[in-house]
Amino acid sequence: MTIHKEGYKILTVLLIILALVNIGLQYLFPQHSQLLSIVLAISTLIYILILQFFRSPKRTVEINEKFIIAPADGKVVVIEEVVETEFLKDNRRQVSIFMSPINVHINRNPISGIVSYFKYHAGKYLVAWHPKSSTENERTTMVIQTTQGESILLRQIAGALAKRIVWYCKEGMEVKQGEEFGFIKFGSRVDLFLPLDAKINVKIGQKTKGGKTIIAELN
């Protein structure tokens, strides 16, 4: 298990702050050993919790141009037919994955292809399961055009806790299935907008593993 690059700065700053707090308390209250032990235990717990947010497990991805694989670890919270109004402007099957604070927060390309559209949207920070979070929250929208001519729209969505979306892609870039395209710090939600004739392989409430779980199969 390694630590993702997005966590280096946060973890370093946090370590310094917690170290200074504990050293300062030892200097100010050297006789209060019980208090010092409690603060040290709390500091250690906080650091471990933040540390696990940025874990980066190694995963082997089996490339398959017919499969749409999970872009994130989490739980399937939405499977429904919707009208995608930003770019595709047609009926799509939306599959949404909620990322809790304890999930791995790396986002991966669900399929290989060319990024035909990318846009960042500033917005609100509604809770990730709010129906309007997909269109009103801070978010990014990316469309990958496959070698078969299919367009798959993918959306990173910030939530009430996750207020920092990171992306590593741009229009015209060639992307490979399973590779990282972004990171949502402290979790939130990722939406997929798939063709209506795609065979959905997941159910509401099912847990997903980024780069591994097969969300759908293209015809």
Q: Residues 95-115: what's their mean pLDDT? A: 93
22-57 tens-digit pLDDT: 999 988 888 888 989 999 999 999 999 888 888 888
What is the pTM assigned to this prediction?
0.85
* pLDDT over 90 (residue 127): no
Cβ-Cβ contacts under 8 Å for 135 (sequence gap 6 or more)? 85
Spatial distance between the Cα atoms of 5 and 21, rounded to a whole number of angstroms: 25
Kindly name the residue from 96, 133, 151, 188 that is annotated as catalytic.
Answer: 188
- Would you state the pLDDT for residue 170? 93
Q: Residues 166-170: what's their mean pLDDT? A: 92
64-75 tens-digit pLDDT: 999 999 999 999
* 63 within 8 A of 177, measured Cβ to Cβ: yes
Report helix, strand or coil for 189.
strand
Spatial distance between the Cα atoms of 158 and 20, rounded to a whole number of angstroms: 31
- Would you state the pLDDT for residue 147? 87
Q: Is 100 a catalytic residue?
A: no
73-92 tens-digit pLDDT: 999 999 999 999 999 999 99
